[in-house]
């Protein structure tokens, strides 16, 4: 019975989509057009050719023979020419990255199923949009991209796998002795090969020889301590205001208050699924049960559905964020002392399915940073003064230290009195 109900629902859905193709072509977004065209093709609907025509009509021309489905024009990777050599520049996020990738990936899958041409250039464009190892912007567009690439691989690449023989050399321009070579053969075709670059390479040369296809990606990470050095989002989508206060001995407890609101009203009145990530100092922590109280309490945070704490990050998952301030308050305690903490910590909010819509701010945590002598807590620590130097200056402790000085001076006085007769003249 369930199979018949599913089949009936599919038929009803195909019939409705076919009857409303005109509305799809006039008012739908590129991602919706791609999904409708692919669904009608997989269902073998009589309206599939018309849907494909709408999809082709909405495709954007990117460069030479590259057709992309997207909300706006996404520029191809940029180059800088130095000494008559083109240098590929880092890729920066764009406003509709996730939707553009998903729409183009579904279109690629449809193109491959239909046996259309120009699929190779679409594959090249998809790979140019990768943001990290094995993924694009979000889980949804990554899955769509892999499905499209799998279909392309099944129809095109698998016929060439037995002939794949590639030698790819990567070397810094200023030092050819530090070159590294990757070898790709049918035996290791599915194995990820990586190489960690030590030192500063600045520009590098990539040279490939042989037969076949391969993807080479360079990933860089760096840390900043000034807000003006942060990579800003392509479009302001969130307003983020973090605040931290500390209390207790040497800042043993920190209370965070983070407020966020949606400001990208041109796209929608509220955001989609949103994630708020707050990095806490090393050595501080809280329990997942304590954070979960923000969801289960009698006055829960609006639209907050789940919380999670792992290592140094507290994560909050919202169903959506509105244009009004939504604030999260929580505390962390020092579990163990750590010296020389990072004084700047990031706080980030982003849309789960469109991570290019984000906002990041930096929190100054220098007031809770301990030096090595405070963590060691002993006069035996090298190059550290006595322990009382780091003690609190409360009246009771000061009085306690005063007594210590009296006990230290008394033996010294007795010692001087005991040797004074020997120093007296005869």
CA of 401: how far to CAs of 119, 269, 321, 398, in Å? Answer: 79, 62, 54, 5
Q: How confident is the model at residue 39 (pLDDT cuts 50, 70, 90)?
A: very high
Contacts of 416 (CB under 8 A, 6+ apart): none
Structure tokens at 13: 């859905």
**Rounded CA gap, 234 and 94, in Å?**
5
Instruction: Give the closest residue to 216 by CA, choosing from 204, 231, 200.
Output: 204
Report whether pLDDT(61) > 70.
no
Calculated CA dihedral for residues 281, 284, 288, 293, nearest 10 degrees: -90
Q: Specify which residues 87 forms β-bridges with.
A: 80
Task: State residue 157's pLDDT score.
Answer: 64
pLDDT band, residue 10 (cuts 50/70/90): confident
pLDDT band at 379 (very low <50, low <70, confident <90, very high): low
Could you give the CA distance from residue 349 to residue 356 in angstroms, rounded to a whole number? 11
What pLDDT score does 211 carry?
Answer: 86
The model's confidence at residue 394, banded by pLDDT at 50, 70 and 90, is very low
**420 pLDDT more than 60:** no
**Is this structure's pTM higher than 0.85?**
no
pLDDT over 90 at 142, yes or no = yes
Residues 288-344 have pLDDT tens digits of: 888 998 998 888 899 999 999 988 899 999 999 999 999 999 999 989 888 888 889
The C-alpha atoms of residue 335 and residue 115 are separated, in whole angstroms, by: 60
Confidence of residue 47 (pLDDT cuts 50, 70, 90): very high
What percent of the chain shows pLDDT beyond 70? 85
DSSP per-residue string spanning 376-388? H-STTSTT---GG
H-type helices in 276-393, by residue range?
288-296, 372-376
């Amino acid at each position: 019975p369930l199979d018949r109900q599913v089949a009936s629902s599919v038929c009803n859905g195909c019939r409705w989509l076919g009857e409303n193709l005109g509305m799809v072509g006039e008012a739908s977004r590129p991602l919706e057009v791609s999904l409708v065209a692919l669904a009608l093709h997989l269902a073998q609907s009589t309206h599939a050719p018309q849907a494909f025509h709408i999809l082709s009509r909405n495709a954007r021309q990117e460069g030479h023979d590259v057709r992309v489905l997207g909300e706006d024009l996404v520029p191809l990777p940029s180059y800088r020419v130095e000494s008559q050599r083109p240098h590929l520049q880092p890729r920066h996020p764009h406003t509709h990255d996730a939707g553009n990738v998903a729409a183009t990936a579904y279109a690629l899958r449809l193109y491959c199923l239909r046996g259309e041409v120009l699929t190779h250039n679409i594959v090249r464009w998809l790979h140019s949009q990768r943001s990290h190892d094995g993924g694009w912007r979000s889980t949804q567009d990554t899955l769509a991209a892999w499905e499209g690439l799998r279909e392309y691989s099944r129809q095109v690449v698998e016929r060439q796998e037995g002939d794949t023989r590639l030698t790819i050399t990567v070397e810094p321009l200023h030092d050819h002795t530090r070159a590294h070579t990757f070898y790709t053969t049918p035996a290791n075709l599915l194995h990820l090969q990586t190489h960690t670059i030590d030192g500063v390479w600045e520009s590098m040369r990539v040279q490939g020889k042989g037969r076949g296809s391969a993807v080479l990606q360079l990933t860089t990470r760096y840390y900043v301590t000034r807000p003006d050095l942060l990579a800003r989002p392509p479009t302001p989508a969130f307003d983020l205001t973090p605040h931290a206060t500390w209390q207790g001995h040497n800042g043993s407890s920190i209370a965070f208050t983070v407020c966020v609101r949606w400001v990208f009203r041109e796209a929608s009145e509220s955001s989609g699924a949103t994630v708020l990530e707050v990095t806490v100092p090393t050595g501080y922590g809280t329990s997942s049960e304590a954070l979960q109280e923000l969801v289960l309490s009698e006055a829960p945070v609006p639209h907050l559905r789940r919380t999670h704490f792992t290592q140094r990050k507290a994560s909050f998952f919202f169903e959506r964020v509105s244009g009004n301030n939504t604030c999260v308050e929580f505390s962390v305690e020092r579990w163990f002392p750590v010296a020389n903490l990072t004084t700047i910590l990031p706080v980030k909010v982003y849309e789960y399915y469109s991570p290019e819509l984000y906002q990041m701010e930096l929190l100054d945590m220098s007031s809770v940073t301990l030096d090595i002598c405070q963590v060691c807590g002993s006069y035996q620590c090298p190059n550290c003064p006595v322990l009382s130097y780091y003690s609190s200056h409360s009246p009771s402790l000061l009085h306690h230290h005063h007594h210590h000085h009296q006990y230290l001076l008394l033996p010294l006085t007795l010692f001087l009195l005991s040797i004074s007769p020997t120093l007296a003249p005869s």
